[in-house]
Amino acid sequence: MSNTIINYEGVEQMPIKRFTEDAYLNYSMYVIMDRALPFIGDGLKPVQRRIIYAMSELGLNANAKYAKAARTVGDVLGKFHPHGDSACYGAMVGMAQDFTFRYPLIDGQGNWGSLEDDAAAYRYTEARLTKFSSILLSEIDQGTVDFKPNFDGSKIEPVTFPSRLPHILLNGSTGIAVGMTTDIPPHNINELANACVMLLDNPNATLADILGVVQGPDYPTLAEIITPKAEITKIYEQGRGSIKARAVWQKEDGKIVINALPYQTSPSKIIEQIAAQMKNKKLPMVDDVRDESNHENPIRIVIIPRSNRIDFNALMDHLFATTELEKSFRINMNMIGLDGKPAVKNLHTILTEWLSFRRATVTRRLNYRLDKILDRLHIIEGLIIAFLSINEVIEIIRNEDEPKTVLMARFGLSEIQADAILNLRLRNLAKLEETTLKAEQNELEKERDELQVLLGSERRLNTLIKKEIQTDAKTFASPRSSIFVERAEAKAISEADLTPTEDVTVILSQKGWVRCAKGHDIDVKSLAYRAGDQYLAHARGRSNQPVVFLDSTGRAYTIDPTSLPSARSQGEPLTSKITLPEGAEIQQVLMGQPTENVLMASNSGYGFICTFEDLISRNKAGKAVISLTENAKTLPPQLISLEEKCSLVAISNVGRMLVFPLSELPTLSKGKGNKIINISAQAAKASEEYLAHLLLLKPNQSLVFVSGKRKITLKPSDIEKYRGERARKGSQLVRGLSANSTIEVVS
């Protein structure tokens, strides 16, 4: 029920809700049907169709002289498409660019743009139709399509073009409608023609059969399509998906030369992306990148590595992953079908439906020609009658006031036949020869019979369509541009691998200031420290290794050493990079490989073995690693190897020493660990007794106790006296040896 009312002034009124709904619906349908989506028959959007038709009406065929593009745009806007001139010209430019359209429909002269620059203004460019456009236009005047009034009813325009090939797939289409999009890729003309022939010969052919002929999209570029065959099959089954293309490169005189880019990829953008990585020091292996493109080589990007030792494949793999040298193209084969409705169609449906369109078009063309022949035969019959009584006919024409009526009555002619005789000049009428007319009549009757046979036989009609498709495909034959190569997925080189690795030493001060020095030969204690501060600990490693800090609560924190300030300065507070619990202090620092084993222990006499990776945390707040009893502290962690049969030497502050196999300690990712040496909980809590030294001892190694200038060595045989089971109190050190001494392990 309509809410529209007419007021007393005769003005139509309706609620704003109804008005806005109708307005949006009308706009949506206009965008879908008359702007954004192509028609399956000719593969064109309305603006493209109107441009091509306007140019054909102006006589701008492939053999004509070039005409100003502004003239064409003006004609299109004035007669068929009353919209923006820039949008119209943009559509025209796209159809003229061989890097945009696989088979350009417009032949442009002047600056019609490039991958880098837009086309010149339409007042500077000239254009005409290409020979290829004939597949759309050649049958338009043969009764093959319907015409409709233009926007103001002053002219008529074709509803569609009688396309002789499936142009919807040849050049593809892109567009955004209300609530939907279309992204139809271009294809190779020979492959599509063969697929159409296959379906004409065998209507029961499956999609798998078609894909034996149609390899996939064929973009106007020499870049590789690297999407696996199985995925391509899935795309053509569903009518949507994505295709991945990759640039083509080769090694040339120690340089990388890129000579083909993915569809619609700008060389300057590629160079900009590579240069940005070089500037940010993410491509240390690249010395320079430059564009050497010219007329002979439209695409030639040269990358110069720093040395020949660089892995070119790994470098290009990184660039494929981080730049538009590798690009994905969305596919969504959405179009207006023969039923006038938009739909996403698979490849089999598109070709089958287009063949139905082509069959209807050819049938209309043949019927149109048959009607013309029948009309001409009818006229010839009248002319022959006139020839046989030529004198009488001339006499009637000259003397009668109503010669038409007299002729019709005298010779039994139809009105059409009488008009044809009267429209001839008397001189021509007198010269009519029966033989000539009979010859023409015979030819036309023969053609009539052939057409009637064609129209009456589906098999013969299919044969005709097949031959025409093959002829056009041969005329415009084109080798495939996009080749198919299955490649492994490109992976970017990690930040750590990109950064040159070098030896580093991380230094920690007592007040928690940290810095990083290059090299391992650093006298850490002689470095300058802030007033009231001094050396606490250091760790040696590589710049690509994380550095782990342990606090007084047993938590571990991880930092990238490259983010630390140079040792030329006095460093920066560690608290600016990590978040410590209240009252906690950083006590230890360690560097190593993720798989290396680490000996973790507390001075309360407990410990365990973990891997360096167990200590790594990505949180500023770190992670709990070793559980500490009250007043306990962590001992310096030690990188160890479990392959050798090593022993642990535990020495308490009261001078008791215990030696036992390292293998008796458990392997944990975190926790308190097992008891190493027996220290009572009460004594540990009161700090009366604690684990003062924890040493790793290989077979045949000795211990040296250094107290001032005095050195006492415990040989392997002497050490055996202190061996016992884990968690025992250990044996008292012999006279002369003290837990307060500096203890060294020597071979």
- Please give the positions annotated as active site: 124
Residues β-bridged to residue 609: 599, 667
- The tokens for 115 are 């991958």
Q: How far is CA 555 from the centre of its chain?
A: 44
- Under a CB-based contact definition with an 8 Å cutoff, are residues 574 and 514 in contact? yes
- The tokens for 684 are 């540990």
Please enumerate, as own/partner, the contacts of 70-74 that have beta carbons within 8 Å and a separation of 24 or more.
70/122, 70/123, 72/127, 73/122
The contacts of residue 299 (CB under 8 Å, 6+ apart) are 258, 259, 260, 261, 267, 293
The contacts of residue 36 (CB under 8 Å, 6+ apart) are 45, 175, 176, 177, 182
Q: How far apart are CA 302 and CA 292, in angstroms?
A: 7
- Under a CB-based contact definition with an 8 Å cutoff, are residues 140 and 129 in contact? no
Please enumerate, as own/partner, the contacts of 525-531 that have beta carbons within 8 Å and a separation of 24 or more.
527/567, 528/570, 529/570, 530/570
The contacts of residue 488 (CB under 8 Å, 6+ apart) are none
Question: Hunting for tokens 């993915």 — which residue is that?
Answer: 262
- Say how many C-beta atoms besides its own lie within 10 A of residue 500's C-beta: 10
Name the pairing type of β-strands 224-225 and 483-484. Answer: parallel
What's the 3-state SS for 204-257? Answer: CCCHHHHHCCCCCCCCCCCCEECCCHHHHHHHHHHCEEEEEEECEEEEECCEEE
Q: How far apart are CA 383 and CA 62, in angstroms?
A: 39
Residues in the chain: 747
